[in-house]
Amino acid sequence: MKAPVFEEFDPASDCDCPGCLHWRSAARSSPSSLTIGLGGHPAAHGARRALVLAAAAGTVIGGAHAVPAVAADHGPARPGVPFSDEPPTPQGGSGPLHGPVGRPASPLGRVTGLPATTRAAIVNRAKLWLTAKVPYSMVKYWSDGYRQDCSGFVSMAWNLGSNEWTGSLGKFGTRITRDQLQPGDMLLFHNLSDPQKGSHVVLFGGWTDYTHTYYLAYEQTPPSARKQSTPYAYWSNSSHYVPYRYKGLKVEEKAAVGGSVSTQFPGVKSFGSGANNANVTRLGKLLVGRGGGRFYTVGPGPRWGAADRLATQAFQRAQGWTGASADGLPGPTTWAYLVGGKGK
């Protein structure tokens, strides 16, 4: 690329304005300095000189590539990250559930207190909006009464009795660590200094692989609710996202008729090809709770299948096990880790 050419000349010597007198005096005292003459008086000099320098800033002398003079609003682009994956940040505030035409819902139709729910119920509620392709809006309400933005989406999935926002959702959850994340938990970023800049919230749907660098994010963002693989913790402002677990989460490991389910390993014959029993269902639910839901196209059931084996193997590999210890068939150690909530 051809380097820009600058002409050098002094202001007209017959001009007696204070600015020209100053520049002529400076040139005499520093004859080696470079004066970029643009003609006219200093008032015009400054404006025109700014234009020349702005043009020059976009070109590296010596034939290098042009660079933008102004940074992009959302920071430098990252390879492989579509700009559309950055959601807009405006959101609604805290408020009641709304009727189908935007009126406050009847108190009889609202959930009161802190409703109990399960991880499976949270994910299934989120999927309802995905299936319906609920469009994003910070002012509109879906037929279930929840506002159609990111915080309304999580309020809906957690079955709260109100529409919350990123500044209030945290009070419904308990802070957890990254290693404790399980499907149905949320990742929350509330920009306290400027809530409308960057604030966002998503539901955690499980890790996509054993490296725990990407996860399935359920979120409400333009143009509609979606689920997609997302880098932890998010595309931008990653260090500001905080994991939370819903306070009303029920313990799902209960016997059909009262009491706790036994933690004793049911035996190798309960799993593998041809197995069809309640222990297979329980295994599948435990694996879904630890992030294995992506292997199941339908919910876990009593008949052993490829999904059970793949999910078990993924869990075993996440612990760093190899060989026979990661063959996809649960043994006493795998079972103890799952029912005891241990490991990764």
Instruction: Tell me the domain boundaries of the chain.
Output: 1-70, 86-246, 268-340
pTM reported for the whole predicted model: 0.51
User: Confidence class of residue 41 from pLDDT cuts 50, 70 and 90?
Assistant: very low
What top-level class would CATH report for the domain 86-246? alpha beta
Among 64-68, 169-173, 229-233, 241-245, the least confident range? 64-68
- For residues 4 and 41, give the distance between their C-alpha atoms in angstroms, rounded to a whole number: 24
Give the best-scoring range by mean pLDDT among 115-124, 182-191, 207-216: 182-191
Which pLDDT band, with edges at 50, 70 and 90, does 24 fall under? low
Class of domain 268-340 as given by CATH: mainly alpha
Whole-number Å distance between alpha carbons of 286 and 263:
12
Measured CA to CA, the distance from residue 165 to residue 155 in angstroms comes to 8
Task: Give whole-number Cα distances, 98 to 89, 102, 143, 191, in Å.
Answer: 22, 5, 8, 26
188 exposed, middle or buried (CB, 10 Å; 0-12, 13-18, 19+)?
Answer: buried
Q: In the predicted model, what is the mean pLDDT of residues 166-178?
A: 94
pLDDT tops 80 at residue 99: no
Residues 204, 141, 195: CA angle, nearest 5 degrees:
60
Band (17; pLDDT cuts 50, 70, 90)? low
- The 3-state DSSP class for residue 314 equals helix
Asked whether the predicted pLDDT for residue 66 surpasses 80, the reply is no
Please say if the pLDDT value at position 37 is more than 70. Answer: no
Alpha helices (H) in the chain, listed in sequence order = 18-29, 42-57, 119-132, 150-157, 278-289, 306-318, 332-340
Q: Is residue 166 within 8 Å of 151, Cβ to Cβ?
A: yes
pLDDT at 144 over 60: yes
Does residue 238 have a pLDDT over 50?
yes
